[in-house]
Amino acid sequence: MKMTNAGVHQEAACQLGRMGRMKRWGQQVKLAAAAGSAFVAQAALAVNDLPGGPAVNQINLHPPVTRIAADQMWLHNFMMIICLLIFVAVFGVMFYSIFKHRKSKGAVAAHFHESVKVEIAWTVVPFIIVILMALPATKVVVAMKDTTNADLTIKATGYQWKWGYDYIKGEGEGIGFLATLDPAQREMSDAGKPAGDDYLLKVDNPLVVPVNKKVRIITTANDVIHAWMVPAFGVKQDAIPGFVRDTWFKSEKIGDFYGQCAELCGKEHAYMPIHVKVVSAADYSAWVDGKKKELAAKADDPSKVWDQAALVARGEKVYAANCAVCHKPDGKGAGPIKALDGSPVVLNEDKLKQIAVLLNGQNNGAMPAWKQLSDTEIAAVITYTKNSWSNKTAQVVQPAEVLALRK
C-alpha cells in the first residue's frame, strides 16, 4: 500500500513529461516508409534526410527553427531527465532492498505503520517535482497560445483532402490558393513505388511566409476535423468545421519546412501534406507581387462567354486537379464512385442537374460540394465532362449559369 501513493505521484510526473513532447511524427512516417519501401523494392531506394522534414531513422524531435519549438525540445529533455532520475532512484532502492534483505540472509520484515515522516516525505517530494515541471511547461504553453501582435495572419482551411490558404492580414492580404499533393506523388503511391526524399510531402503551391515575422495561422475546416502541423515550428492545431482556432510561429531560419495533416480525416488523410517556404523579407515581397499579378490575371469574369473548346481545355485541368482522384482520368469511377462516362446526370439535357450536383454535392457528401471552385472552373469542368470519353452532348455550360444557381 505504501508504494501506491508514491507510485501515483511518479506516474503524474511522467504524464506531465509526456505532455511536453510533440508527437514523434517524423519517426513514425519514416519508419513506416522505410518498412514499406524495403518490402516493395529493396535496393532500388535510397532515401535521404529531407531538410525541414523527416530524417531517415529519426528518433529525436525535429531540429527546431522557432523559439517555441526549441523550448518544447528543452522541456522534453528536461522532463525526460527528471523521469529518468526518478526511475533510477526508485528501481535502485527497490533492487537494493530485494538483494540486501533477501530470505537466504534471514531478513525479517519490519512491522510499522502510520509513519508520519515517511508519509509527509512521499507527499511533499513528488509535489515539489510536479511543480518544478509545471512551471516551465506552463510558461511555454502560455507563450504558444499568445497569438497577439502578429505581422501576418493566414487562414488555413482543411478540405478533404487539401489545404486552402487565405492571407487575411498583413503583407500579401487578399492572396488565396489551394495546396494539393503533387499528382506525380499520388501516382507513385498508387503504383507502390515511393521515390524521392519528399515523397508524399510535395505540393503544388507551398505556403510562403517571411522569415523572422510572427505569423498567425487561423485554422478551420470545410468538412471534417483536420489538424495543421509543422514539427520544425512546434506547431500543431486542430482545424474544426464551424470553429476557428489559432496558433502562431516565427521562423528564425529561411528554408523549406514540412508537415502533414495530423488528424485522421478520411481515406486520403495521408495525402494532404503541408509545405511552408520561409523566405527573406525581400523575396517575400517579390512573391507577393508576382502572386497578386497572377491572381489578377486568373480572376475570371463570370459574365465572360466562352466557346466550347476553351472551356473543355480549361475543364480538363480542373478535372485532373480535383476530380480524377475519385472519378479516375477515364471518367469510369470505381465502386461507389459513379462513372461520369455515360452518367445520366452528365448526359442530361437539363444542364442545371449537373450544376446542382457540383454546387451542393450528392449522397450526403459522398460526392463533395465544389463551391470553393470559381464559376468559370465549375462551368469548365462540367463542359469537359459533357464532352469527353464517350460523352458527346455538345452542351456548353457558361460561368453565368453557374453563378445564377449559387445561393
**343: partner contacted, choices Cu ion, ligand HEC, none (Cβ within 5-8 A by kind):** ligand HEC
147/362 with CB nearer ligand HEC: 362
214/386 with CB nearer ligand HEC: 386
Which residue's entry shows cell 453557374? 402
Whole-number minimum distance, CB 241 to ligand HEC, in Å? 16
* b/e map 303-325, b = 16+ CB within 10 Å: eeebebeebbebbbebbebbbbb
Pairing of strands 235-239, 152-159: unpaired
189/362 with CB nearer ligand HEC: 362
**385: partner contacted, choices ligand HEC, Cu ion, none (Cβ within 5-8 A by kind):** ligand HEC
17/158 with CB nearer Cu ion: 158
CB of 256 closer than 8 Å to CB of 225: no
Among candidates 54, 72, 42, 6, which has minimal Cα distance to 235? 72
Whole-number minimum distance, CB 385 to ligand HEC, in Å? 6
Whole-number minimum distance, CB 158 to Cu ion, in Å? 5
Distance between CA atoms of 220 and 241, rounded to whole angstroms? 6
What phi, psi does 282 have (nearest 5°)? -65, -45
Whole-number minimum distance, CB 260 to ligand HEC, in Å? 19
**326: partner contacted, choices ligand HEC, Cu ion, none (Cβ within 5-8 A by kind):** ligand HEC
C-alpha cell at 136: 516551465
SS3 content of the chain, % helix, strand, coil (to 5): 45, 15, 40
**265: partner contacted, choices ligand HEC, Cu ion, none (Cβ within 5-8 A by kind):** Cu ion
**322: partner contacted, choices Cu ion, ligand HEC, none (Cβ within 5-8 A by kind):** ligand HEC
CB of 189 closer than 8 Å to CB of 200: yes
**398: partner contacted, choices Cu ion, ligand HEC, none (Cβ within 5-8 A by kind):** none
287/306 with CB nearer ligand HEC: 306
**55: partner contacted, choices Cu ion, ligand HEC, none (Cβ within 5-8 A by kind):** none
Give the alpha-carbon dihedral of 135, 139, 141, 143, to 10 degrees.
180
Q: What is the CA 139 to chain-centroid distance, rounded?
A: 25
Which positions touch Cu ion (CB under 5 A)?
Answer: 226, 261, 265, 272
**357: partner contacted, choices Cu ion, ligand HEC, none (Cβ within 5-8 A by kind):** ligand HEC
**337: partner contacted, choices ligand HEC, Cu ion, none (Cβ within 5-8 A by kind):** ligand HEC
Identify each DSSP E strand in 112-183 by its residue range. Answer: 152-159, 162-169, 176-179
Distance between CA atoms of 95 and 135, rounded to whole angstroms? 32
Whole-number minimum distance, CB 291 to Cu ion, in Å? 25
Give SS3 for 19.
helix
65/379 with CB nearer ligand HEC: 379
Distance between CA atoms of 378 and 358, rounded to whole angstroms? 7
Which positions touch ligand HEC (CB under 6 A)?
Answer: 322-323, 325-327, 336-338, 340, 343-346, 354, 357-358, 362-363, 366-368, 370, 381, 385
Whole-number minimum distance, CB 162 to Cu ion, in Å? 9
- Return all residues near 333 (Cβ < 8 A) that are at least 6 apart: 326, 327, 339, 340
33/359 with CB nearer ligand HEC: 359
73/381 with CB nearer ligand HEC: 381
Distance between CA atoms of 81 and 75, rounded to whole angstroms? 10
**185: partner contacted, choices Cu ion, ligand HEC, none (Cβ within 5-8 A by kind):** none
Whole-number minimum distance, CB 315 to ligand HEC, in Å? 8
Count of alpha carbons within 13 angstroms of residue 256, beta-carbon side: 16
Among candidates 79, 93, 71, which has minimal Cα distance to 2? 93
CB of 50 closer than 8 Å to CB of 79: no
